[in-house]
Structure 1
Amino acid sequence: MTGRDDSLSLLFDDAVDAFLVHLRSERGASPETLRAYAGDLAQFRAFLAEGRGGDGRLELRPDVEDVRRFAHRLYETVERASQSRKLSTLRSFFRFLEENGWIEGNPAGAIPGPKLKVGIPAYFSVDHMVQLLEALRKRADRPGSSWTARRNRALFETLYSTGVRVSELVALDGSHVDFQQELVRVRGKGAKERLVPIGDTALRALSEYLEALRAQLPGVDPVQGALFRNARGGRLSARSVRRILCGELERAGFWQHLSPHGIRHSFATHLLNSGADLRSIQEMLGHAGLSTTQRYTHVHFDKLAAVYDAAHPRSRKGK
């Protein structure tokens, strides 16, 4: 579609298809993001069809009251975070249609989302992170260990060393790692690329993993293709990384839950508490603005407050 012909009706399904193509080809959305958008829009479509008494060729007739009633339905049925995401999907969808001249105005633009509590990101302490990575190293170095043990160690050493998103981690190719310059080229949201430093320990783990991978799957060339592989030689998925981490935490004796995103939080928190400036962390994380990165400052400010209380002569706790 190159624009809306006023003599023709705009079908909901055609509009969604065009939107998803835009997200994938122009904004570099991941498969998981595309599934989430498609699911939210399918739910809105079902709501519209229910109100119009049919589920055939549904015309898209943007109406702020439809969105308002849908928001009320969400308020009654799902949690705040899901409400916020689904309304955000509608705003993006209608904004896309408006910018392409297929509708006039954004019927979701004036519908406020729920106020969300800003939660403290889950993360591991430095000691716990080291304990997990050491457990992975010992299992990988054990005589007779499988190549997947070396892969798992390299996987989480890389994740903690770079702080990349799990979607960015599994999208890495072997050619994206510069062992000489100690950098990783990461393709982030919106197909934006950034260079992220990677430490010696992670690079050693990667080298050992690649050596084991070549021995296990001689036909695989990780330099030209996916860096992290599954047992069949295909690219590891984000879902598999979550499952692997769950198993490794259990093997290492941790009762706490930690997601791959929690390792990313740990990376940022540990850097901040060690004196790294917020702008540098923003660049490494690939955040578009500082507001997202500032979620980590709660830990830093807690530490600053403790130092102040202990050292300042006029603090209440000072001597």
Structure 2
Amino acid sequence: MRGFFAFCVASGWLQTNPAKALKAPSVRHIPTLPYNAAEWEKIVWALDAYKEIHRQSPMKMCQKLRALALLMRYSGIRISDAVSLTQDRIDKKGRLFLYQAKTGEPVWIPLPKLVLEALTICDDGNTHYFWSGLGKLKT
């Protein structure tokens, strides 16, 4: 707003800048913390309950939901990145390869055996673990 009115003053449309005294609001950024043990226990319980409540869902769907939750918990990646994860991003040593968003630096994230086993169960021959590769991903 200050820039717009400064432009108006410079163009001779206004004598003074009425927004000159305005200050930008201060914004507190609260970091997102990982789930604590009780919260994670509830998530695992919900995954198990899903199988019981939605008995018509294929077992493969339940396994993929569990693997997706484990992957996000132990790697820290967003759901959109997890859903679009391709199998070539995990090397033979069980490390997830990514690029840092801010710096573009390559990063290797070691995944626990529990996650790797869950992802192996999800392997249905596609290049992606959770997405068919068809259609358009939305973030």
TM range (shorter): 0.5 to 0.7
| One of 96, 105, 109 as aligned partner of 1:184 | 96
Quote how far apart the aligned CAs of 1:130 are.
2.5
Quote how far apart the aligned CAs of 1:68 are.
6.6
Quote how far apart the aligned CAs of 1:203 are.
1.3
Q: Secondary structure at the match of 2:35?
A: coil
Write the distance in 2 (CA, Å) between the matches of 1:160 and 1:115: 31
Q: Secondary structure at the match of 1:185?
A: strand
| One of 44, 63, 66 as aligned partner of 2:4 | 66
Q: Secondary structure at the match of 1:118?
A: coil
Tell me the alpha carbon deviations over residues 232-257 of structure 1, each in whole angstroms, 9 at most, x when there is no partner. Answer: x5378465xxxxxxxxxxxxxxxxxx
Quote how far apart the aligned CAs of 1:148 are.
2.3
| One of 71, 77, 82 as aligned partner of 1:169 | 82
Partner of 1:221: 126
Deviant stretches of 4+, over 4 Å: 137-145
Partner of 2:119: 206
Write the distance in 2 (CA, Å) between the matches of 1:227 and 1:236: 16
Quote how far apart the aligned CAs of 1:135 are.
3.4
Amino acid at match of 1:209: C
Amino acid at match of 1:163: G
Quote how far apart the aligned CAs of 1:207 are.
1.2
Aligned residues: 122
| One of 34, 38, 46 as aligned partner of 1:135 | 46
Q: Secondary structure at the match of 1:65?
A: helix
Q: Is contact 1:170–1:235 with CA below 8 Å preserved after alignment?
A: no
Write the distance in 2 (CA, Å) between the matches of 1:235 and 1:163: 25
Amino acid at match of 2:32: P
Write the distance in 1 (CA, Å) between the matches of 2:79 and 2:26: 27
Structure 2: runs of 5 or more not aligned: 8-21
Quote how far apart the aligned CAs of 1:158 are.
0.1
Write the distance in 1 (CA, Å) between the matches of 2:85 and 2:36: 27
Tell me the alpha carbon deviations over residues 177-233 of structure 1, each in whole angstroms, 9 at most, x when there is no partner. Answer: 13x4121011331543210111121111111111xxx2xxxxx522xxx33215xx5
Q: Is contact 1:168–1:187 with CA below 8 Å preserved after alignment?
A: no
Q: Secondary structure at the match of 2:129?
A: coil
Write the distance in 2 (CA, Å) between the matches of 1:207 and 1:235: 24
**Higher-RCO chain (CA-CA 8 Å, sequence separation at least 6):** 2
Q: Is contact 1:229–1:236 with CA below 8 Å preserved after alignment?
A: no
Partner of 1:116: 27
Amino acid at match of 2:43: L
Write the distance in 2 (CA, Å) between the matches of 1:158 and 1:67: 50
Q: Is contact 1:177–1:183 with CA below 8 Å preserved after alignment?
A: yes
Q: Secondary structure at the match of 1:194?
A: strand
CA RMSD, Structure 1 to Structure 2 (Å): 3.6
Alignment CA distance shift 1:145-1:205 (3 Å):
farther
Q: Secondary structure at the match of 1:189?
A: coil
Quote how far apart the aligned CAs of 1:123 are.
5.1
Looking at secondary structure, tell me which structure has more helix per residue. Answer: 1
Alignment CA distance shift 1:155-1:122 (3 Å):
same
Tell me the alpha carbon deviations over residues 141-192 of structure 1, each in whole angstroms, 9 at most, x when there is no partner. Answer: 99874222222111111000111233432342111113x4121011331543
